[in-house]
Chain A
Amino acid sequence: MKIRKEVLDIYKAVHTWTGIVAGLALFIAFYAGALTVFKHDLAAWVAAPVQDTRPVDLHDADRLMEETLRARPDAAEDLTLTLRATDAQPAQLSWQSPDGARQYLANFDASGQLVINEREPTAVADLIDNLHRTAGFVPGSVEAGILVIGFIAMMYGLALVSGLIILLPSLVKDLFALRPGKNLKLMWKDAHNALGFFSLPFHLVIALTTVVFAFHDQIYDTQDVFIYEGAMMDQWTMPAPRVQVPSLAAKAGGPPAAQGTQLVPPALMLADLRELSPGFEPHYMDYHDLDSERPSVRIHGVDPNYMMRYDAFAIMHPYTGEMINASYLPGYTDGWTSWLTVFFALHFATFGGAAVQWIYFLLAIAGAFLFYSGNLLWIESRRRRAQDKGLPEQKTSVRVMSALTVGVCLGCIAGVSASLVAGKWLHGNVASLNTWHVIVYYAVFFLSIAWAFLRGASRGAVELLWLCVAATAAIPLTSLIGWLAPATGLWANPSSAARGVDVGALAGAACLAWMALATRRRQKHGQPDSVWALARA
């Protein structure tokens, strides 16, 4: 395809600038995003064992809730009945302190007495998710970080379009070429182009959905003023299409169900849902505002045969058992709502079950590599080459960018692994593990960047790669110690989710070790004027 040279020139400039500004943040967002796919498994790995894991007897659950509410009226605002236990969360009734730092678990003991246990729930799943949503920008304010990522995502979208435009003229010639050899820039460019082109649909979806997730409030607010003239609330509060609940259908036509003070037994609601949506597997029930005029319960779950918004759910009335909103219940999504589930599912990989989750994991890791290779290209095309009078001093911009690339990318990888491991080693020794997860991540992240600047990109890369290997290998090693020597206070959760994290971390550590060895080899035997060569005389 022929494109005028001046058009190519401007889009090359756009691609370079958006890429170099957004690339490192995108690396973090994609690495953490790949892990977010398995965030509940990571939480299952780190979670401290709970003493009392007996599940709530579902047929007694309404009595448990009523007794709990009598003992603890403050729980009425947000009460969760977990149906499917994980290592991080037993299948019990739970609620949290207003700041989310403490969790209370309620159940009946053997003699039928209400028992309430208190603990610090692990926030690892949310912390990984927040790192993904903010790239770690603005520690302490997730909202501000999300807005920053909104702008980064616009630049990312611009980089995708401009990258496609500058690739078009040579697309047919270059797409299936990978030219390893002396011209390193050519090889990185081939890899960058092939990867970018073939994962373009995924990247466009991620870029556009991210802009939506970052700016939806602002867009709605503007539309409210200019399109709805202040009446957007009417759109927002429009009732969902009616769905008749089977257990109430018999009584239909009679007087409307009285909004009693008696909670509808959860077992009855679940039986209704099973009848309505047979493939829907409920995971937990979230009761909201039980003491208010508008109480509701959201039953969350999954059905891998459907595209789901984050997960699938139905909103019901906890005192009458009526359906309030079934538009996200598998089989009951239609009209514009089905488009919404598609948009969400394509970002969150909430369709198709484990196969799609693994594909998204790999696409996200490949995306992280796309941004990393983009930075390498930038560095390769700007470094000074060796002349006959010895090795040149590299430009400051090249030195800074190469050190920053190494420090940020490897610091993020090492930081996440170290933060996860710290959850077990610090358990019982600190007041708040969740605070320490954050401290350890940022400490490793910023020290890695400092190290890369101190030692230079070349030496720093090898050393930080070994740090990544150590931190990541510590994940399965910690489990091994916990299994062999429980006296150390360490533990290994037996679930397949926790075991999967051990296996995944072992594979990750092996990949990182291979990269460390390759980087070391290039230091010694690669081109001596490269920024990756070992320090020159």
Chain B
Amino acid sequence: MNATQNNEARKTARPAPAKPRTDLGKGWLGKTLAGTFCGLAIALIASGFFMLPDTKYNTVFDKYQIAMWMVPPIWLAVLSFCYLFRDALRAWLWLGGASVAGFALFKVLAP
């Protein structure tokens, strides 16, 4: 196929039904809330995993302070990228699901 044909093919392909553009701004409030609350929950759970196996009878000095320090970066990361979900419901389901599953797993693993 030469270049002209290639262009022809592209031209004919263009009018094909364009994929409807998703407006990610729709549901921004719901997404922001999901990112804020679930992001905080996920960050706290991550700090819980970090503390394993020292949540009790810890012998590592100052480790618990690092566990506090790691919460804001993870929180901000989840909040920053929650807008990439197609809508607010999906944001809540994914992030909320991750929070619940993460917390359950933490409780199983925690001493």
Q: A residues touching B (Cβ–Cβ < 8 Å)?
A: 5-7, 9-11, 13-14, 154, 157-158, 161-162, 207-208, 211-212, 215-216, 219-220, 222-223, 226-229, 231-232, 234-236, 238, 240-241, 327, 335-337, 339-340, 343
Contact = CB atoms under 8 A, between A and B. Distances in A.
Interface in B19-65: 21-25, 28, 44, 47-48, 51, 55-58, 60-65
A interface: dominant SS: helix
Contacts of B73: 208
Interface of B: 21-25, 28, 44, 47-48, 51, 55-58, 60-69, 71-73, 75-76, 79-80, 83-84, 103, 106, 110
A13 B66 contact: no
Contact of B56 (A234, A327, A336, A340): A234
Contacts of B84: 7
A14 B83 contact: yes
A336 B64 CA distance: 9
Contacts of A238: 58, 61
Contacts of A9: 23-25
A10 B58 contact: no
A219 B62 contact: no
A340 B76 contact: no
A385 to B, nearest CB: 26
A327 B61 CA distance: 10
What are the nearest 7 A-B pairs in CB distance? Answer: A235-B64, A211-B72, A10-B24, A161-B80, A336-B62, A227-B48, A157-B76
Contact of A219 (B28, B44, B61, B103): B44
Contacts, number: 106
A157 B74 CA distance: 12
A216 B68 contact: yes
Contacts of B57: 234
A10 B28 contact: yes
19 contacts: A6-B22, A6-B23, A6-B24, A7-B24, A9-B25, A13-B28, A158-B80, A207-B76, A208-B73, A215-B72, A220-B68, A226-B103, A227-B47, A227-B106, A235-B64, A236-B64, A240-B61, A337-B61, A340-B62
Contacts of A219: 44, 68, 71
Given A220-B68, A227-B55, A340-B69, A6 B21 contact: yes
A211 B72 CA distance: 6
Given A6-B22, A227-B44, A227-B55, A211 B61 contact: no
B19 to A, nearest CB: 11
Contacts of B103: 226
B33 to A, nearest CB: 13
A339 B66 contact: yes
Given A234-B57, A336-B62, 4 more contacts: A219-B44, A227-B48, A227-B67, A232-B64
A168 to B, nearest CB: 14
B65 A340 contact: yes
